[in-house]
Structure 1
């Protein structure tokens, strides 16, 4: 899980990158690289759960974020991560 601090002032350059960030996150969630992405109400923090085998792999994913230069983060390795959506709807298979 990545605990991310965002800048206090969200300038025009930051805001211009938000649509690209949303597209990137949607793509990574679609291929299940990211399993959760949460923004604090005051927009000061993000929490991201990335499915990876190593810290290097996590850094590789983070480096693709359009907003990475605005982020200060700390990586927390998790033993496990449960999501309610994982328990309700099983993955669909065409086989």
Structure 2
């Protein structure tokens, strides 16, 4: 009871003296500015196709996922090119 509370209080006070609490800066990851909502949707669709292929192990599902990611890759390259050439 009381002895434990006293111990905890003293330890907290000692720790606060040695290493006081400080607000930590937020580590927000900046999203790529060229990554559009359309690309986000395409990526989500591709992951869905990939999960289906991994679940079924069907060659047709694999081919569909690979074809989608080829199209997605071209779209990413086009978005980057458009973004960086406009700036």
Q: Which has the higher strand share?
A: 1
Bigger helix fraction: 2
TM-score, scaled to structure 2: 0.28
**Larger relative contact order (CA 8 Å, sep ≥ 6):** 1
TM-score if structure 1 supplies the norm length? 0.26
Report the structure number with the largest CA radius of gyration: 2
